[in-house]
Chains A and B, each alone.
Chain A
Amino acid sequence: MSEQTTAPVAPPARPVEPAAWKRWLSLDNRYIAPIFITCILVGGHLSFGMLESYQKTALAIMASVLADLVLGRVFFGKWPNLASAYITGISVGILVRSPAFWPYVLCSVLSITSKYVLRVKGRHIWNPSNFGISAMLFLAPETVATLSIQWGNYLLPMMVIWALGSVIIWRLRRFHITGIYVLSFIAFAFLRSYITGSPWQSEIAPLTGPMYQLFIFFMITDPKTTVRSKRGQCIVVFLVAFAEFLLRLHQVVYAPFYALFIVGPAAMLVEMWMDSRCAPAASMGASAGASA
């Protein structure tokens, strides 16, 4: 009568695949971050009017995606996966605040281009949006600031983002980076409070804002621009927090961006240098073994 009443035929042996619904729910890790950041954007805007202009955010995303498509094709002869460009564009759209339109385009294109131009031994060494935003803040302070909206300064949205972000970063096996940074920031906040006499609450305060949420979940954890070893990642992110501490002592408003801008590439270069030192030794050792 129907296919369901037909006697089942034993299928040929093959690897067991998850059910379709499971496959559908099992997202490629590459898409988790873009989805998360999109949720932040939509939720932030609907609840707190986070974006003053849809057009500017859309412009930043489009510029970023277009630049990545063109440069990826030109440099590597293939269309790149656009998840990274999307994150860059949306980060620029959220973090950059300017009355003009051009900074959104310029920041996005600058960020993506840095990925292709500023390369050492085939690896780009700056987190793209960190590079773009730092450059714009440094070069065009009269036109560009970063996000001022703070999720209403309310506790609940902050907790939701922290919880969701932590789960996602845990799944991506990079929670240790975020965790070490947060702990280091808090420790340095108390130290700053001791040194400057400012209330410790005011030193902790920035950590609760959305700028930091984007910073700690998306920028400092970027797999492409962090060193490979887990121990190295912990050391580097501690150094980022330390550099930020020094910059904050000098009252630099955008200390976290500049700290990552300085420490991130330096760490990458050190790692490459160490790799290059190990590689000849390893190859000599291999030769020696062969000869023996």
Chain B
Amino acid sequence: MKQTRTARIIVSILFVAMLAAPVLIKWAAVRHGGSDKAKLDAQTALARHGFYFEEVSRSAGVKFVHQAPTLDPQLAPIMPQVASMGASVSIVDFDRDGWPDIYVTNSGEGSKNALYHNLHDGTFKDVAEEMGIADVNRAGTGVSMGAVWGDYDNDGYEDLLLIKWGRPELFHNEGGHGFTRVTELAGLPSWVNANTALWFDYDGDGLLDVFIGGYYSEDVDLWHLNTTQIMPDSFEYAKNGGRKYLFHNLGNGKFEEVSAQAGINSRRWALASAAADLRGTGHPDLFIANDYGVSELYFNDGKHFHDVSAQTGVGFSPKSGMNAAFGDILNDGRYAVYVSNISEDGVLIQGNNLWLPKEGTSGEGLKFENLARDLGVELGGWSFGAQFGDLNNDGNLDLYLTNGYVSLDRNRSYWYDFSKIAGGNSIIIIDAKNWPAMQGRSLSGYQQKRVWVNDGAGKFINVAQAVGVTDTYDGRAVALVDLWNRGVLDAVVANQKGPLLIYKNTVTAENKWIEFALEGTASNRSAIGAEVTLYWNGQQQRQEVSGGSGFAAQNDHRLHFGMGKDPRLEKAVIRWPSGKIQTLDHPAVNQILKIKEPA
């Protein structure tokens, strides 16, 4: 009896301790992760993290503010969340002057997109109007959602593919002096509600092809609704989204839509896509991050795409995919894929996915496992665009993530109503009129961004606040680029209903770097799909020129490698899309190498 009483007392004490445990764990976590709360101190940031950012858009002459569309009045009660995308950014050197320029999209009806020409002196000038690619959001044609650049006719100048909730557009670059609209000639469809597109040469014929992923069904004109039943039919397995398009480049300025023949038949709600050669076959495989569902991965055999989402492990647990970016984060020559999702304290913790190739798997048997938690990049709020890049030139790829969905009233949240409808049956949630009105409430608004530094030992540490990334806009797209040819990666961030931000990077001079500006000859001239493997200090890192990645974004075509202090640079091996292998022995560090594909 006495023993039982003693046991009861001990267990009761333990019980109270267990109730206190979550509070203590939170307190310990806050103490441990204190560095993220630190304000920017440039010298401290340089010493501790090897870099810091300064937001310089105004001094650089960039005063772009994104406008959201105003859709059919029937959507008015939930307009802020329906009209919540469209801010995008893509990097291009449109006039081949060797300095990267910036193209940003706008989404208000009648609003103008901007092409910021790099003036080489730290400032930019918007030349979109004179180049003929500004006035692209006229009423009746839809509004811009994203843009990607690729030289589809191999004339040496990057052409513009603009995707919209509306009519997609193709603009031919006339030698850097202007753009000609060639949409009809190219054979693009009259209406696609798309949020993702990319250039890639899927069949290796030296001509860039195009993938476009639909979000809303292409039957829907969001300004003139015939029905309010336009929402997803499931929050997890929705298949009533937009169709996918694969446009095969015929080489005469025309494209042929071949998605069905090629094996891409999905109607999931695509928000992001990226392509990279995951198996060393020489053909780019295709990854699609879908909202309201599972991600999709297609292995490409050069002619057909094979849906391997389930067998590779990336297509099982449905989340809210909003980003697809590849990076060789372990410096082992294999790509990880980062997919952003939603996490909101106490309501919904999907967690972002960092898919890494499983040890011992490769080729057709390649499998992935989600190690986002283990590596520390799982929780990023309502995450949107993210990109890998070596921000401090230490030789490891870091991760820049922007986030935040709808920032309205700071003190009133829509999450309760959102969670209520999210649990509903498909016949309820598919109809926009069943959704509770937002009434000015925020939904995961005013969020702090993440800048995760890769410590090279399997962990990413968030240092956003400490390195000067302090904005809380509703971030959508991120592009990484060495804007001023200094050997560092700057970050350009497009915000929904917010300003375009340019975070200028300052990196410790101790860390060395090298960049590759590639130009194809037998391969597509943009060199999209070309791969550089850099070998230094006994390690290697692989990067590939991308025709679009992240969310509604495209990084610079130039590949940037950091190598840390005193690197012994052994060689760089370039594998061109044509299959040619080119090796550069002992290239000098701290330079931008311009390489043309050898004949």
Contact = CB atoms under 8 A, between A and B. Distances in A.
Interface of A: 48-49, 52, 71, 74-75, 97-100, 102-103, 106, 109-110, 113-114, 116-117, 135-137, 139-145, 148-150, 152-155, 158, 196-199, 201-206, 208-209, 211-212, 251-253
Contact of A205 (B234, B349, B379, B429): B429
A154 B427 CA distance: 8
Given A110-B18, A199-B434, A208 B348 contact: no
A198 B414 CA distance: 12
Contact of A102 (B8, B25, B294, B379): B25
Contacts of A251: 413, 416-417
B22 A202 contact: no
B349 A145 contact: yes
Given A113-B15, A140-B26, A253-B346, A154 B234 contact: yes
Contact of B436 (A137, A141, A202): A202
A36 B426 CA distance: 25
B231 to A, nearest CB: 11
A143 B26 CA distance: 9
B424 A148 contact: no
B19 A135 contact: yes
Contacts of A206: 420, 423-424
9 contacts: A97-B348, A103-B22, A106-B22, A113-B15, A153-B234, A154-B234, A202-B421, A208-B425, A212-B423
Contact of B424 (A102, A135, A149, A205): A205
A198 B431 CA distance: 14
Contacts of B21: 106
Given A117-B8, A199-B436, A251-B416, A205 B346 contact: no
A75 B423 contact: no
A113 B426 contact: no
B416 A253 contact: yes
Contacts of A145: 344, 346-349
B350 interface: yes
Given A99-B349, A140-B26, A155-B425, A149 B18 contact: no
Interface in B394-425: 413, 415-417, 419-425
Nearest to A119: B8
Nearest to B310: A49
B14 A202 contact: no
Contact of A117 (B11, B344, B433, B435): B11
Contacts of A49: 294, 316-318
A205 B351 contact: no
Interface in B41-80: none
Contacts of A155: 425-427
Nearest to A158: B425
A205 B416 CA distance: 13
Nearest to B12: A117
B349 A203 contact: no
A169 B324 CA distance: 46
Contacts of B8: 75, 116-117
Contacts of B344: 145
Interface string B340-372: 000011111111000000000000000000001
Contacts of B372: 99
Contacts, number: 158
Nearest to A142: B345
A48 B235 CA distance: 12
Given A99-B379, A153-B236, A198 B7 contact: no
Contact of A202 (B237, B318, B351, B434): B434
B349 A98 contact: yes
A198 B23 CA distance: 35
Contacts of B428: 201-202, 204-205, 208
Contacts of B4: 74-75
Nearest to A154: B426
Given A110-B19, A142-B345, 17 more contacts: A49-B316, A75-B4, A99-B378, A103-B22, A113-B18, A143-B349, A144-B22, A145-B348, A152-B426, A154-B237, A202-B417, A202-B421, A202-B434, A206-B423, A208-B428, A209-B424, A251-B417
B568 interface: no
A109 B18 contact: yes
A113 B427 contact: no
A49 B309 CA distance: 13
Contacts of B434: 199, 201-202, 205
B410 to A, nearest CB: 16
Contacts of A116: 8, 11
Contacts of A148: 348-350, 422
B346 A198 contact: no
B348 A150 contact: no
B19 to A, nearest CB: 6
B43 to A, nearest CB: 32
B96 interface: no
Contacts of A114: 15
B580 interface: no
Contacts of A48: 236-237, 318
Contacts of A140: 22-23, 25-26
